[in-house]
Every structure is written in C-alpha cells, then in structure tokens.
Amino acid sequence: MTLNVSPVFQTAGNLEASEETLAGLDAWRSMSPLQQPTYTDEAELQDALSRLRAVPPLVFAGEADMLKERIAAAARGEAFVLMGGDCAESFADATADKIRRRIQTVLQMAAVLTYGGSMPVVKMGRMAGQFGKPRSADTETRDGVTLPSFRGDIVNAHGFTPEDRRHDPERLLQAYQVSASTLNLIRAFTTGGFADLRLVHTWNRGFLASNPNYQRYEELAQEIDRALRFMEACGTDFEAMRQVEFFASHEALILEYERALARIDSRTGTPYATSGHFLWIGERTRDIESAHVDFLSRVRNPIGVKLGPTATADDALRLADKLDPEGEPGRLTFVTRMGAGKIREALPKLLADVGDSLPHVTWICDPMHGNTITSANGFKTRRFEDVMEEVAGFFDAHDEAGTVPGGLHIELTGDDVTEVLGGAQEIDEEGLRRRYETLVDPRLNHDQSLEMAFRVAELLKA
Ligand code: PEP
Ligand code: MN
C-alpha cells in the first residue's frame, strides 16, 4: 500500500459535521493559547486565513488513519517508529537536494533498523510543516538592540532586523506552499522507485566515503543485497518494494494555521488536521487546560505529546483521558524527552506510576531536547554520547517496566553539518564552527544519524 489514496476513497460519503463539532474546532480561542504570533494588522490576518481555508488539504484522512494503524503496531512491539528531520525547517532550505538527503538519511536509518533489528519501521519526517518554534523568551537582545524572537519561518524571518522579525500573516500561506512542494517531493521519492530497497546502495552516494559509518552501511547494504537476491531466486514479487510509506509530522503550534487547515472527513463527518499526518504538542504547551490540548483533542489524526522530566503519571493519565478517551490504538503517542542525566530516574518512575492504565499508548524517545547545552565557545549543541545514553536509558526503563520502547524522535539533517559534538568524526567545540547551519536546535548529521541507527539496532536485538 502507498500514500496515494484514490479520490474515490476520499469522496465516498458526504457526511457533514455537526454544529457542535464545528464550534469545538474554535474552542481553543478562549483559552489564551501560549506561543502564538502577535499580528498587528487584523485585516491582513483575516485575508491570509480566508485563503488558507480554501486551499486543498496537504494530507488525506485515510492516510492519517493508515498511520494510526502503523503506530498501533509499534505500541504492540510489532513495529518501530522512526521520526526525524530538522528542528526548524526553513523556506530557503526546501530545495530538492536538501529534502532528498533528509529522506535518504531516514531511509538509510530505517534500512539499518529493519535489517539489524528485524523490525518493520514506520517512517516519518519532521517535514513539510515543521516551521513554527516555541521560544523561551519573546524577545532577543543583541548589542543593545531588542527585537522579537525568531519563531520559525511560518511566523517571522531569522535575520535580525525589525522587518525580518515582524510577525507576518502572509507567511502562513508560504508555509502551506512550501509544505505542499516538500510533500510533493516526498511522495515522488517514496512512491516513484527511489525508496526501492534494491537501491539501498545508492542512498549512500554523495556522502563522505571515508568515514566508518558509511563503510559499515555499505557492508550492511551488501548483506541486504544478498538477501534480496536470495528472495528473488525464490520468486518473490518485488513490485511492492518500489513504494514505501513515508509520513509527515510536525509540532501543532500555530493554531490559526492548524485551524484553517482542519477539514471534515466526508467518510465519517469528523475533523482531521490536514497540515500533516501526525501532529504533536510540545513540552511548553501540553498543560491539560491548554488551547493546544483542546484543539488536538478535536481532530482524529494520530497525535503525540512531549513529556519532559517534570511530567507526572497524573499528567499523563489526564492527557490520555482528554486526548484519547476511547483508548484507540495508535491515536496517542507519548514522546519522552527527559535528558541523559534524568531518564534513568524519571522514566522508570513515570512508567511505574502509570502502571497498566494506558495499554494503547505508544511510547517513543526524543533523546534530543533534554540534552541541549551551550559550548564554551557559545554554540547551542548536544553531545552525541548524551543522546545515546538517553536512548539506552529509554530501552532499559521499558525493559524493566515490561512496556514497549516504540520508537525514536530525532533532529537530523542529511547534510554533513557540525552541530552535535562527538560521533565517529569526533566533532569537538572548535569543530562546531566548521558547518553550524541550524536555525534553532543542533541536528545529528548524516554520519551521526547512521551511527545512531547501528547502535539502536543493537538495542532492538537485545
Ligand atoms: C522540538 O521538538 O523542537 C521542541 C521544541 O521540543 P520540546 O517541545 O520537547 O521542547
Ligand atoms: Mn528542537
């Protein structure tokens, strides 16, 4: 099966939503949503929103349902979720080459995990919509000049001028358009034969041939080749392998954007967010009374909630009660991001306190956001070994609790950037200067991403 859902399937039925359902989609407005843009020109905003309400959906409800089934399998330990991409996508970086390299990196990691861990991998990009960023401060001061913080390309620009930092409603439409072209490329790559497992070698092309993870990947690709030749000799039909399921996820942060792209599924009369397949609520906006929790409780997509080290079992249970009252398999994923120093205490406690109350929830690990530090020379960075230590702590905690480690959520790029310390290339603080390109948080580069996949495959085997 592929991401292409036929139009007949989508338009079957003409169920409409009730007045109450429709009103519910706007309930968040009275809940003082955090982390929202402040637009100065109401007419300009309304003009942008009315155009956004008229555009076609980026994803279909049927695709979101399919992803829900895949995630449900991960909760049962029958699959593993791999979600990766930029911390903040940028409009300028939505080029064919950069998008291809990111997809390639996720596909390579998935090949390593599938083969090494003998586990189907649910592939998702933090892509085609990851344009809004929560910030800890509303303003930023440089050399005595104070301007609004950069909140992601969907809100304002990264440059440090008053014009760049203005919250511009037109960017909501640009975000939609860039998401549409990104998703178009994702669909072309993953259904057009590029993701065919028989091309497992070619995904390595264009990356540094000298590093050890690249060579290790080549060896694994040769093993996969041998296995495929064996299957071919046995008469396996390879047509199905030409196409790969690849889903798009992002943080549902900017609620005007999400609301304008919410659509009623004509099969069921229920609302879906059509800005992406999987949406999550960030650590800063997950309060049970929050506008974000309310909005996502009203759409039927598979959704996630980040849980940091202060999250209690009570938080988790109340969130599950509000977001997944029916205990629907695949609906709710908790993305824990505790930090390497805390995970071995915080996660076992959380899992023990939750007990067996949430059997349908999928638990995945974000080993990035609890491990952000500032280097002595002023870069926002992470240590690769801290990231790996959090992943190891995640597997151990689930092993002890008898729950399922369902997947990984990581910030990565397919480029050879130098933003995270360590890895096979042993990037040190000075090395960060070489190619530090991220707009917000540091990303694993291609090599570090492969290394992580090899190490996680070992954990999956154990
Ligand atoms: C993020 O995923 O980029 C992010 C901001 O994460 P968190 O909400 O977990 O801090
Ligand atoms: Mn981030």
| pLDDT reported for residue 339 | 98
SS3 assignment, position 57: coil
Closest atom of ligand 1 relative to the 126 alpha carbon: 2
pLDDT at 232: 81
Nearest alpha-carbon partner for 264 in 19, 6, 5, 2: 19
Q: How far apart are CA 66 and CA 254, in angstroms?
A: 25
CA 207 / ligand 2 centre spacing (Å): 24
pLDDT tens for each residue of the chain, 462 residues long: 333 333 333 444 578 899 999 999 999 999 999 999 999 999 999 999 999 999 999 999 999 999 999 999 999 999 999 999 999 999 999 999 999 999 999 999 999 999 988 889 999 999 999 999 999 999 999 999 999 999 999 999 999 999 999 999 999 999 999 999 999 999 999 988 888 888 888 887 766 677 788 888 888 888 888 888 888 888 887 777 788 999 999 999 999 999 999 999 999 999 999 999 999 999 999 999 999 999 999 999 999 999 999 999 999 999 999 999 999 999 999 999 999 999 999 999 999 999 999 999 999 999 999 999 999 999 999 999 999 999 999 999 999 999 999 999 999 999 999 999 999 889 999 999 999 999 999 999 999 999 999 999 999 988
In angstroms, what is the span from residue 130 Cα to ligand 1's centroid? Answer: 11
Residue with tokens 């540094």: 208
Integer Cα distance of 394 and 379 in angstroms: 27
Nearest atom in ligand 1 to the alpha carbon of residue 283 is 8
Q: Which residues line ligand 1 (CB under 6 A)?
A: 87, 134, 251, 282-284, 306, 337, 369, 441
ipTM value for the complex? 0.99
Q: What is the DSSP letter of 31?
A: S
User: Is residue 410 a contact partner of residue 123, using CB atoms and an 8 Å limit?
Assistant: no
Residue 40, pLDDT score: 96
What is the model's pLDDT at position 13? Answer: 57
In 282-375, where does DSSP find H-type helix? 291-297, 313-323, 343-354
Q: Pocket of ligand 1, candidates 151, 441, 443: which has the most ligand atoms within 8 Å of its Cβ, to mutate?
A: 441
Q: Which atom of ligand 1 is nearest to the CA of 286?
A: 8
* Closest C-alpha to 262, from 17, 12, 9, 10: 17
Q: Measure 147 CA to ligand 2 centroid, in angstroms.
A: 21
Q: What is the DSSP string of 221-286?
A: HHHHHHHHHHHHHTT---GGGG----EEEEE---HHHHHHTEEEETTTTEEEE-S-SEEEE-GGG-
The predicted structure's pLDDT at residue 208: 66
Ligand 1 center from residue 382 Cα (angstroms): 14
3-state secondary structure of 48: helix
Counting from 1 in the atom list of ligand 1, the atom nearest the Cα of 133 is 5
Ligand 1 midpoint to CA 369 (Å) = 6
d(CA 315, CA 239): 46
* Residue 218 confidence (pLDDT): 85
- pLDDT for position 157: 98
| Residue of the CA atom closest to atom 3 of ligand 1 | 87
Q: Where do the DSSP E strands lie in 282-415?
A: 303-307, 332-336, 362-365, 373-374, 380-381, 405-411
Tell me how far apart the 2 most distant CA atoms of the chain are, in Å: 71
Which pTM was predicted? 0.95
Question: Which ligand is nearest the CA of 252, by number?
Answer: 1
Instruction: Quickly tell me which residue has 């092309």 as its tokens.
Output: 205
**Ligand 2 centre distance from Cα of residue 356 (Å):** 31
Closest residue to atom 8 of ligand 1, CA basis: 282
Q: Which one of the ligands is nearest to 130 CA?
A: 1
CA atoms within 13 A on the CB side of 60: 16
For residues 259 and 252, the answer to whether their CB atoms sit within 8 Å is no
Torsion sign over Cα 278, 283, 287, 292:
negative
Q: For position 206, what pLDDT does the model report? A: 66
